[in-house]
Amino acid sequence: MRTGRRDRERTEVPALRYRWTSAVPAVATVALVAHQGARIFAVDEHVRVSIGAAVAAGLVATILAAAAWPLRLLAAAVAAVGAATAGVLAVDGELPGDLARAATSGIADLVASVWPSPAVPAGVGALTALGAIAAWAAVELVLRRTAPAALLPSLALAGVIALMSAEAGAPPLWWVVAWVVAALATLLPHRRRTRSGLAMAHAAIMTVLAVVTVLVAGSALAAERFDPRARIDAPATPETGISPLARLDEWRSRVPAVEVFRSTLSSAQRWRLVGLTRYDGRTWLPADDYRVSSSVVGPTDPDEATVRAEVRIGELDAAWLPMVDRTVEVSVEVSVEDGGDGDGLRVDETRSGLLPIRAPELGTVYELVLQPQDVQPSTLATARVATASEVLVDGVELSPATLELASTIVAGARTDAERAEAIARHLREQYVLDFDSPPGHSLAVLELFLERTKRGRDEQFVAAYGLLAHAVGLPVRIAVGFQSEALPGGGGTVASSDQAIAWPEVDFGELGWIAFDPVPAQANTAPPAQGDGAVAPIGDDTEEPPVTTAVPTPDSSVPDDSPTPDTVDETETSAVAATAVGAGVTLVIAATVLTGYVLCVLALKSHRRRRRRAATEPAARALGAFRSGVDVLVDLGQRADRSRTDLELVDAGARTLGEPALHLTPVATVATAAVHSPIEPTPEECERAWAAIESFEQATAARVGRLRYVRAKVSTRSLRRGIPD
């Protein structure tokens, strides 16, 4: 039975030629998949590191194919940690914090961001480590005679990357062809070794399936793909402040007007500060799904030219960065004149606002990449809107009168564009712009505006458009921003506080968000006609109070620019937590290094013992048994003097260890005969010698105690000072 086990162990070690001809293409399948990891991120500087880590892990696995499994397992763990470290450092991450985060939440960090993901160190490190593990597993499987299963690690890694890059669409066809070629190269050496009819038939079937895969890949891979980002709720951070729509009067009332920002664009533009996508019955609010973003914030049309613009923040006093629609890229690292650095950028699902982690200050400079797109009326007339999302929160419901009004306004409209324009035209033509009306856009104010007074501020026109558009199923949001003016002499454009504006936008899918203008061009200065009714509701508990300079109450989720009293406490708590995490990571690393050392020593000793016992010649097996016994004595502190005979070594061990060393006497006799006698030991004598070694080890453990014996087992003395083979 023991001989059969040794034979199986020997068959697991493949021939050198087969080892390389099978392992190299298996590693190539994983390296090709690692290359596609660039589709997840906005930048691809780290892709070479990911590919290199996968190749290095595969080569190490190939070299150690004949080693004992503990050593191979240890090397695999080291390869994964090394790959993750290389990935973290490739994107300027920090050790050991980002390395620990890569193991605990690296993939989660990618899912929690918008696509294309920023090159967060934890996410890059996690993917690099997965590539190394996949390459190692592929080599292990192909060298253990399971070549078809060796393709599974690369397919599993491809599935992870496909999920993380779902919005990127199907991979290129050249990549599919290259992977299929590498897969066939992995299978063919294995099939040539077996040379059975069933194996050859299997290889032929695999080849046909590969060709069919290449032919149909274009259509199959282009199907709708599952995106985990769409199923993950963005972390909500409750904050305080006043709705940007309610701040229009505050910005306009500054005397004198101040410069809020300027840009290098040569023509006047309508700049959006933020998009408001939710209505809670009191006010329109920003989105609640802001996530970490890369520098790429919008899709790029390869057929359209791009324009770069530099923006410098003035006295803006807002949490967002102004942007022009069709913004496709923005500098994530926000630089400030005093040398400070920002900490990244967040955007919501509709890319309605650029919300930096650190609020922009006076002098903040950033760069936008714009892609102007002129939507022709004929194109808009045939466009379909995107699927509308729910904008009413907290159980808010529109009144039957408002729903009926919305249906009446769009009656007869044949297209989505006609419905959107019909609402804007109705408000412009049937309602009066009156800046003397009280501010506010609560549900009671808007219902009174729509049904009775039909006069109000631009704030009410825009907010009412949002409710009417939502009532007829249009995906709508309210944009708040500034109208810029061109500076004389072509010196760029500037936006001042008195040019604060708001407007509604409707999502037309591929065309993007299209602006509509429901506000009349001129304000009506005449007094209201008799019978027009009250301008504002009386005793309306839900009405939003006029804008004041008082500290806002925490009743909305609009970002606030002023620090809260808890900021210092949270900072101190974060510092303590960071220190605790650092100490914990240090302990984990120390424990890992110690465990790795112990496993490495045990693996080397186990490998040497198995090699000695599995020797093909009986004399070598007999000598191996005695030398293994001497190794135990050396680990316990005895010197292995090579000038002594085998029996003299046993006598020296008896003086040191006592009676247990006498178990080595028959082993020494057989070993001496194996060297000097012309007759080799019989297999039975070799087995008895190894049985005596096992008895010697058991007796030694009982004599010296378990603790000392375990310390001897992990000692490296016998590796350095034992009798060489």
Could you report the per-residue pLDDT of 451-489, keeping only the tens digit for each? 999 999 999 999 999 999 999 999 999 999 999 999 888
Q: Which of 469, 496, 515 is the last residue of a domain?
A: 515
The whole-angstrom separation of Cα 53 and Cα 140 is 16
Residues 359 and 427 in one domain: yes
- Residue 68 or 427, more confident: 427
Residues 92 and 127 in one domain: yes
What pLDDT does residue 15 have?
A: 55
Residues 468 and 406 in one domain: yes
Please indicate, yes or no, if residue 555 is contained in any of the structural domains: no
Q: Identify whether the C-beta of residue 497 lies closer than 8 Å to the C-beta of residue 257.
A: yes
Please indicate, yes or no, if residue 431 is contained in any of the structural domains: yes
Residues 198 and 101 in one domain: yes
Q: What is the pLDDT of residues 537-594, one digit of tens each?
A: 433 443 443 333 333 333 444 444 434 434 334 444 444 444 444 455 555 555 666 6
Please indicate, yes or no, if residue 239 is contained in any of the structural domains: no
- Average pLDDT estimate for 387-398: 86
- Average pLDDT estimate for 316-326: 89
The whole-angstrom separation of Cα 651 and Cα 661 is 8
Residues 265 and 220 in one domain: no
Alpha-helical regions (H) of 91-172: 97-111, 121-143, 152-164
Residues 259 and 208 in one domain: no
Residue 162: is its pLDDT beyond 50? Answer: yes
Residues 219 and 276 in one domain: no
Residues 178 and 289 in one domain: no
Instruction: Say what the pTM is.
Output: 0.62
Identify the CA nearest to 713 among candidates 635, 655, 645: 635
Side-chain-side CA neighbours of 466 within 13 Å: the count stands at: 33
Residues 179 and 291 in one domain: no
Q: Which of 231, 264, 291 is the last residue of a domain?
A: 231
Q: Which of 457, 488, 515 is the last residue of a domain?
A: 515
Please indicate, yes or no, if residue 355 is contained in any of the structural domains: yes
Q: What is the pLDDT of residues 97-111, one digit of tens each?
A: 888 888 888 888 888
Residue 16 domain boundaries: 10-231
Please indicate, yes or no, if residue 624 is contained in any of the structural domains: yes
Please indicate, yes or no, if residue 579 is contained in any of the structural domains: no
- Average pLDDT estimate for 394-420: 92
Rank 240-244, 266-270, 503-507 by mean pLDDT and report only the highest: 503-507
- Average pLDDT estimate for 612-617: 84
What pLDDT does residue 574 have?
A: 44
DSSP letter for 239, please: -
| pLDDT confidence tier of residue 429, bands split at 50, 70 and 90 | very high
Please indicate, yes or no, if residue 422 is contained in any of the structural domains: yes
Please indicate, yes or no, if residue 529 is contained in any of the structural domains: no
Residues 31 and 108 in one domain: yes
- Average pLDDT estimate for 5-13: 41
What pLDDT does residue 90 have?
A: 86
The whole-angstrom separation of Cα 494 and Cα 478 is 23
Residues 97 and 160 in one domain: yes
Quick one: what percent of the chain has pLDDT higher than 70? 78
Residues 341 and 482 in one domain: yes
What pLDDT does residue 337 have?
A: 41
Total domains in the chain come to 3
Rank 10-14, 121-125, 442-446, 696-700 by mean pLDDT and report only the highest: 442-446
Q: Identify whether the C-beta of residue 518 lies closer than 8 Å to the C-beta of residue 428.
A: yes
Residue 390, exposed/middle/buried by CB under 10 A (0-12, 13-18, 19+)?
A: exposed
